[in-house]
Amino acid sequence: MRCYANQLAGQLSKDLHPFYLVFGEEPFQENNCVLNIRQAAKKQGYDEVIKFALLPGFDWQELIAQYNSMSLFSARTIIELDLNQQKPPTHGVNILKELAASINPDVILILKGAKASQDIQRSGWFKALDKKGLFVPCYALTGYHLEKWLDEECKRLKVNLKSDAKRSLLLATEGNLLATSQELEKLSLLYKDALIDQQQLMSGLLNQAKFDIFDLNDGLLKGNAKYIIKILNKLAKDNIEPTSVAWTIQSQAQTLLNIKRALVQGQPISQLFKQYNIWKNQQASTQQALDRLPITQLELIISLLAQFDSAYKSNLLSAPFQGLAHIALSFCQPVNFPMPFSDESNQIGATK
């Protein structure tokens, strides 16, 4: 059954499902959905969380063993499987079908992945889990839906923004829900429920170094290595959250990859610029990136981001910004040395 991200809270208040398929291209919504599922499940005794990530060497037998085993720490367990932007291999497909056929009432399985294409939604494993679970698609928000989300966040945080201030905030954050939410939280602390106008908002934005994160897009598109390193150094110095930087890189890489694939299928570039909200002042640099980066390189960048995300969440990165620099520089040219992960991060299959 399908349930959109903004409907999930209402659905969780009614009952829990044995399977949740949280798929999409908007990481802030995806993470919030998983957090909401965890919180709702915890209220019903699902106290233990076991996390798996689909990395090279992942043992699917361990997944099914954990699903069917009795927990030593809790009567009920949540298992999260991050597909890391990949499709399950044949062996994994069979395991997922097996889980769907033999539900464990003491376990909730949460699958996270990239946008679920029609091919994925028509696959046997997806249908089997969806039939007995809940499919939560997390789409990138634009236009009316983005404005509605901002209104809801303002209401939740009791932030009172004038209309022109809302427009300026959305323009500054370029659709990055994480950055927008973080800024709203700061405004809530600074202004409480007082009315905030555009001048007050922009004054705060101009003093926030974290918005240099959006300058990174220009360097990525133009393949300007020197500029990329300059921005990353500043972000690291200012203790910007690495996941915000990774989101920006991920968003840019995924957009370029989607456009490249559509161009191969014969879709006109003008239509694609409109579909992916590429502003006129960005179209030349976007075209430059499309001409420079082959599909294989963009797929590699997204794979590296998946590895980074898994290692970072498992606290296996001693220097996250070195990893981000490695990935960002891959927009300029292939980087022929490994990511700066610890040995453990290359071996990790599951974390508890």
Domain end residue (candidates: 138, 169, 184): 138
Closest alpha carbon to 313 in 80, 26, 33, 8: 80
Which string of DSSP letters, residue by residue, matches 251-311? HHHHHHHHHHHHHHTT--HHHHHHHTT--HHHHHHHHHHHHH--HHHHHHHHHHHHHHHHH
Q: Are 23 and 85 part of one and the same domain?
A: yes
Give 79's strand partners: 50, 109
In a domain, 349, yes or no: no
Confidence (pLDDT) at 119: 84
Confidence (pLDDT) at 192: 85
Contact assessment for residue 129 and residue 83, using Cβ atoms and an 8 Å cutoff: no
Confidence (pLDDT) at 212: 63
**184: CATH:** 1.10.8.60
Find the domain containing 252 and state its range: 214-341
**112: CATH:** 3.40.50.300
Helix locations, the chain, DSSP H: 8-12, 27-42, 60-68, 90-101, 118-121, 124-132, 143-157, 163-173, 177-191, 198-206, 215-222, 225-237, 242-264, 269-275, 280-292, 295-313, 320-329, 343-347
Query: Average pLDDT for consecutive 10-residue bins of the chain (352 residues)?
Result: 89 93 88 94 91 86 89 79 86 94 94 86 93 92 89 92 90 80 89 88 62 78 92 86 89 94 93 84 88 94 91 84 94 83 44 40
DSSP-derived letter for residue 53 is: E
Domain end residue (candidates: 207, 234, 251): 207
How many domains in the chain?
3
Q: Are 88 and 154 part of one and the same domain?
A: no
Confidence (pLDDT) at 296: 95
Tokens of 124: 């046997």
Model pTM score = 0.61
In a domain, 29, yes or no: yes
Confidence (pLDDT) at 343: 47
Q: Are 190 and 283 part of one and the same domain?
A: no
Confidence (pLDDT) at 74: 60
